[in-house]
Structure 1
Amino acid sequence: MANINDVAKLAGVSKSSVSRVINGNFEHMSDNTKNKILRAMKELEYSPNTLAQSLKKKTTKTIGIILSDISNPFWSEVLKGVQKECMRMGYGLMVSSSGEKEQIEKENILTLRNKQVDGLIINTTGKNTDLFNSLINEKYPFVFLDRSTDISNIDTVIVNNILGAKMSTQYLIDQGHRNIGILLYPLENKSPRIDRLEGYKEALKINGIQINHDLIKICEDQNGSGVEATKEMLALPTRPTAIFSTNTILNLEVIMGVKKAGLKLPEDVSLIGYDDYPWVPLLDPPLTTVSQPAFEMGVKSTALLIKKMKQKKQIKPKIIQLEPELMIRSSCLPPLK
């Protein structure tokens, strides 16, 4: 079996350079040198003894990620970004899901810590404040992803959801809509949902449109609730001429609800959704949506965590806020006169 000396000899570099690549320390190293070492490792089929390294350095070169709802297709794009950055930096990845349950989130955190992952990316339920404060006191590295909490001193990667909702609602207003409905899942400590409702309300206020609470539907966090909420909204005496859906699953359920109400998109009611995927333009009609930089969220949260893990001293937590984009397609028209 090849060893580190064989790799260094074939690549024409020092043993310490090979060691730096193995440990994911590419700072002050040229891409040419790094690629020579990686090619030599591949040619020699060299695999470092990660167990021995872990025992020596008390690290596992593995990070964990805890998602709130792994069934949401949004997270597959995020995970692609996380995986790419992990591979680039020489880290393994362990994935778990809380299913939006506070206790399961807590158990996942404790389990991954017991498996000695070097740090955590957490899409939090918005609860477990005592546990997070405990992790901070222990100086255990973790990063919040997509959701923030009232705890201010945590590194976080989020999207500007107020802006996403505001520009969606404004787009509908600019088309002439005044009765605009919004569908959300329960807000309870979920910052993206709270922010999307806030952005919706801000756009209405800016345009002098009174908020109609009958047009704000909080759906149960279960399959089919969006269909029923849409039908109820469309049965109002003054039904909405446009709907803003704030979640991938809700997007599809609103479309189904409109059909079950005997109406058509966008002739009878316009629709803007949240999140964008390759199949969204294939819907009938192609859906106007707010696109979130999911892949970039994964890359940046992983890079932020790894940087945090390598810090020798505590520094001020960093908040990275990414910008959404409105993808305009054919699901919106001016309201019927």
Structure 2
Amino acid sequence: MAATIKDISQEAKVSIATVSKVLNGDYSKVSEETKLRVLSVAKRLHYRPNLLARSLVNRKSTLLGLVVPDIANPYYADMCRGISDKAQQHKLSTLISNTDRQPQSEHSAVRTMVEYNVAGVVLIGMYKNVSDHLDTLKHYNIPYVVVDYHEPGMDFTVYVDDYSGSHEAVTYLVEKNHRVIGYISGFPEQGHPRDYRLQGYQQALKDAGLPLDPFLIENGRFNIETGYQKAITLLQRNQDITAIACGNDLIALGAFQALREYGRRIPEDISLVGFDDVYLSTTMEPRLTTVRQPAYELGIAAGKMLAQQIKGEELEEKNICFKPTLIKRDTVSARVG
């Protein structure tokens, strides 16, 4: 059983109040001999402070809650690293909850953060019930930042201009003379209003005077399995397809595997574009052409914004939008004919 301040009090033969003062670094009105005796007993008993209990008593927490859809996704891992690095600069720690974008898991994660009395919460990559979660955090006066989600009138957001990034990528394919371009979305629902990458794809086709064919669009999740399965569907349904744009790099990786298995050369037969620019995009051969969104920098910005709220500082910006960058590598080539 873990040692308590009561155990230290009995061993050191001082009051619990004295032990509490010493362990919290308050040595006023405590003799040097008593201080050393308390610290020595605490070390011998392997005492570890209960940070949760301390935060409940002091109403001050040093813990940030991160609600993440998929920590195995390198994009979110880099983002969490950025938040954690910024948190450490402010002497804060992080508690991560993975939800797999399941509404019940997201609700449970937010409630857990409330129960742990965290100093602040970062909601990452949500696109359902966001206002409900924010209402919960506001009710308990918990500062928050929302990442990868934004809507008019919402403050404390950090996000990327998904629409322009996707539009630029698909326009690049059009400029390479591709006319039958498929799209694999990570949103399960077809035509989701928050699927700005799909909207960028559609607008790029409209701008080029190309038809919007619903049989060229597939929906799934932001993972390798979706990319693999939906790329096969696109190939079977559209024999003349020459390019595929993907909702993220994991989808592109799955599509890459499917195209290879079906004997399609990349980029000679089919060009492929991803979104995120995770490290996996440079380990593929050929290397993936993709849209870079600065995950680590997004995390740094979110961590800074949350730390400023916790400290009651005036925010430099309440909404930060990063511009994505098209990274032209080896999976896109000009279509001949």
Common topology (TM > 0.5): yes
- Relative distance call for 1:151 and 1:167 in structure 2 (3 A) is closer
What amino acid is the match of 1:322? F
The residue aligned with 1:159 is: 160
Q: Does structure 1 residue 235 correspond to structure 2 residue 217?
A: no
- Relative distance call for 1:128 and 1:334 in structure 2 (3 A) is closer
User: When the two structures are aligned, how many residues end up with a matched partner?
Assistant: 295
Rounded Cα–Cα distance in structure 1 between residues aligned with 2:23 and 2:119: 28
Q: Normalising by the residue count of structure 1, what TM-score does the alignment of the two structures yield?
A: 0.78
Q: Normalising by the residue count of structure 2, what TM-score does the alignment of the two structures yield?
A: 0.78
Percentage of matched positions with identical amino acids: 27
SS of aligned partner of 2:195? helix
The residue aligned with 1:36 is: none
SS of aligned partner of 1:320? strand
- Relative distance call for 1:256 and 1:121 in structure 2 (3 A) is same
Give the Å deviation of 1:330: 1.0
**2:272/2:288 contact within 8 Å kept:** yes
Rounded Cα–Cα distance in structure 2 between residues aligned with 1:137 and 1:49: 25
Unaligned ranges ≥5, structure 1: 7-46
The residue aligned with 2:250 is: 249
The residue aligned with 2:79 is: 78
1:129 to 128, 131, 134: 131
The residue aligned with 2:142 is: 140
The residue aligned with 1:113 is: 114
Q: Does structure 1 residue 323 correspond to structure 2 residue 299?
A: no
Q: Deviations over 1:205-228 (max 9, x none)?
A: 112111111111113566533222
Q: Deviations over 1:51-94 (max 9, x none)?
A: 89746741112111000112211111111111110111111111
What amino acid is the match of 1:186? F
**1:153/1:317 contact within 8 Å kept:** no
What amino acid is the match of 1:321? C
**1:176/1:335 contact within 8 Å kept:** yes
**1:147/1:192 contact within 8 Å kept:** no
> How do 1:1-337 residues align onto structure 2 when only pairs under 5 Å count?
54=55, 57-123=58-124, 124-127=126-129, 129-148=131-150, 152-188=153-189, 194-219=195-220, 224-311=225-312, 318-337=318-337
SS of aligned partner of 2:218? strand
Rounded Cα–Cα distance in structure 2 between residues aligned with 1:90 and 1:331: 43
Q: Deviations over 1:272-298 (max 9, x none)?
A: 111213342231111111111000011
SS of aligned partner of 1:183? strand
Rounded Cα–Cα distance in structure 2 between residues aligned with 1:278 and 1:217: 25
Give the Å deviation of 1:119: 0.7
What amino acid is the match of 1:130? D
SS of aligned partner of 1:182? strand
Report the RMSD for the aligned CA atoms in angstroms.
Answer: 3.1
What amino acid is the match of 2:116? K
Q: Choose 150-159 or 256-265, whichever is displaced more.
A: 150-159
Q: Deviations over 1:184-222 (max 9, x none)?
A: 122559989610001111111112111111111113566
